[in-house]
Structure 1
């Protein structure tokens, strides 16, 4: 067994860790203590003599040495800002984030000889660092526990009872799982309470490659997780089920990317601007919404910064595409079968708009196709080879099949083509980081999909 406690100073990691180690009859490791042993001096002295970068390097070595350790590990809150540390801590372990309100933390650490990290007044530094690290904290943790009003013994009790639910909640959970055809998942959780769950939420979503990718990545990083599908007609039912499971993250697809925003607690600035969420991170009973689709569009097109671009479509995927292209300083026009929909999307981002028929004769350098047309079993293409000119970059966001009718037409016209699998790869890498705190390269994602 490997139990990891992380969180800001003053959240009780060391006190709770010692209690857990005693109850579990397991060794206790404190990474700050290991750093001091390696350096031969106290942490405040390390900071004074060598600075934070040297401390972080020693911390990295200490955490790497505990990758295969069994026992209870307490590590500093800044440690999980480094995805390499998170990968080592998560390896066959369960990570608990201990948190507390900023004023409680400030009160608990007042008088510490640990030097500040920002030059700000202590109370302001706590708030600033908590905000800066929030995304990393939520990703790195399997479970979040507020220790602000709890004694260390109480927190230890919660950790030992992790993922328990009431009999009424279990009945509701099993009923919903039965409706979704996932009764076996409830049995797996009951038999293995340490199991965490992630899923793709959509209708339909049977075609998605996310379960294949995520389950291979979980195995690769030694994570005790299972990724499945939540295919159901309404988002509210899916969110309710998610809250009854030891669920950490959701990948959200058609038709729920906009609807799901009404059911989650916090939405980040990018998702709010786009008006769609494709990634939900759950921790501490709260859900946090993000959008990684725009990064999946942006990364493969970074070499076309400043180009003239046309986006075909006006839905959630199109909004992410427009947001990405505008961030690359492109001159964007939105075209859709319903011109009013194109106008509404274009006006949000200060772009031009029109009907699909307006594409013919276009002098676009970049074309991004953001409708479901061409997705299996659909065999149509909105554009024919004669509509395109050589040298244009055509990016089809549809990734099943890998070579869509539009991609074939673009190749015939002599265009640079970017298949939808590239969007999937780049957005999935970012999504995995948000949900798990672990950074994965596009190359590793492609390898896992092969």
Structure 2
């Protein structure tokens, strides 16, 4: 068994870790203590003599040496900012994030001789660093434990209950969970959770979503990184029921697809700035009973089109995917026009981002360098295309966000016209890179994602 405790200074990692190790009969490893032994001096002295960079290098070595360890590991809050550290800590381990309110942390660490990491006053530094690290903390953790109002012993009790599979569900909640799993066709998932109390769950939420390749990709990535995670499908007609089921499960993350990217917003506790601006969430991270909403679709559009910065672009569609596309293209300084079957929908979307708008019939290939198709047209078994061959010309870049089939009717016609073509799998790959980081804290390359999809 490998249990990892991380979190900001003052959240009780060492005291909780020592008690926990004694309770489970495992050795206790403190990465800070290992760093000091390796350096032959206290951490404050390392900072004064060599700076933070040297400390982080020594910390990286200490964590790498514990990759295959069995025991309780306490590691510093800055460690999980490095995805390589997260990958080693997560390898066949369970990671608990210990947290406390900023004022509690400040009171606990007052008088410490460790130098600050910013030029801010101590209280302001705590708040600033917690905000800056929040995304990394939530991603790296399997579960979140508030130690601000608990004694170390109480925190250990809660950790042990979670390791033992106690989800804190009442008998009625457990019954409702099982009923919902039956309705979703996921009775086997309930059995898996009962048999493996440490299992964490992720899923794609949509209707339909049976075509999604996310379960294949994520389950292969989880196995690759030695994580006790299982990725499944939540296919259901309404987002509210999906979220209700999610709250009954040891769920860490959701990939949200059509038609719920806007609907799910009202069920999220905190939404990041990009998702709020786009008005759609495609990634949900859950920790400590709270749900955090993000949008990685816009990055999936942006990355493959970075070479066309400043081009004249058209977005076909006015839904959540189209909003992410428009947001991405504007960030690349493109001159963007939104065209949709319903011009009013195109206008509403375009006005949010300062773009032009119109109906689909207004498309003019001669005035367009880049086309991003952001509707479901052409998704199997649909064989239609919103653009005819006469609309296409050599030199255009056609990006079809539909990825099933890999070669859509639009992509096929664009190839025949001599266009640069970008299949929807590229958006899927690049958004998945960011989504996996948000949910797990681990960085993966586009190349690894493509390999896992083969």
Normalising by structure 1, report the TM-score: 0.99
Confirm or deny that 1:148 pairs with 2:160: no
What residue is the counterpart of 1:215 in the other structure? 219
Q: Please, which runs of 5 or more residues in structure 1 have no aligned partner? A: none
What is the distance in 1 between the residues matched to 2:284 and 2:443? 17
State the Cα deviation string for residues 158-183 of structure 1 (Å, max 9, x = none): 00000413322211110111110101
Confirm or deny that 1:379 pairs with 2:383: yes
Match of 1:267 among 265, 271, 277: 271
What residue is the counterpart of 1:135 in the other structure? 135
- SS of the residue corresponding to residue 161 of structure 1 reads helix
What residue is the counterpart of 2:307 in the other structure? 303
What residue is the counterpart of 1:440 in the other structure? 444
Q: CA deviation at 1:351?
A: 0.5
- SS of the residue corresponding to residue 180 of structure 2 reads helix
What is the distance in 1 between the residues matched to 2:17 and 2:243? 33
- SS of the residue corresponding to residue 353 of structure 1 reads strand
Q: CA deviation at 1:360?
A: 3.4
- SS of the residue corresponding to residue 154 of structure 1 reads helix
Match of 2:282 among 275, 278, 281: 278
- SS of the residue corresponding to residue 11 of structure 1 reads coil
Confirm or deny that 1:369 pairs with 2:373: yes
* 4+ residue runs over 3 A deviation: none
What is the distance in 1 between the residues matched to 2:147 and 2:240? 30
Aligned residues: 450
- SS of the residue corresponding to residue 17 of structure 2 reads helix
- SS of the residue corresponding to residue 77 of structure 1 reads coil
What is the distance in 2 between the residues matched to 1:361 and 1:277? 31
Confirm or deny that 1:77 pairs with 2:93: no
- SS of the residue corresponding to residue 51 of structure 1 reads helix
What is the distance in 1 between the residues matched to 2:51 and 2:415? 54
What is the distance in 2 between the residues matched to 1:182 and 1:349? 41
Q: Please, which runs of 5 or more residues in structure 2 have no aligned partner? A: none
Match of 2:432 among 428, 432, 447: 428
What residue is the counterpart of 1:97 in the other structure? 97
CA contact (8 A) 2:325 2:374 kept: yes
What is the distance in 1 between the residues matched to 2:14 and 2:97? 13
State the Cα deviation string for residues 167-211 of structure 1 (Å, max 9, x = none): 222111101111101011011101111000000000000000000
Confirm or deny that 1:108 pairs with 2:108: yes
Q: CA deviation at 1:363?
A: 1.3
CA contact (8 A) 2:365 2:393 kept: no
Confirm or deny that 1:257 pairs with 2:261: yes
- Within-5 A mapping of 1:221-232: 221-232=225-236
State the Cα deviation string for residues 74-120 of structure 1 (Å, max 9, x = none): 00000000000000000000000000000000000000111100021
Normalising by structure 2, report the TM-score: 0.99
Q: CA deviation at 1:385?
A: 1.6
Match of 1:201 among 198, 205, 208: 205
What residue is the counterpart of 1:334 in the other structure? 338
User: CA RMSD for the aligned pairs?
Assistant: 0.6
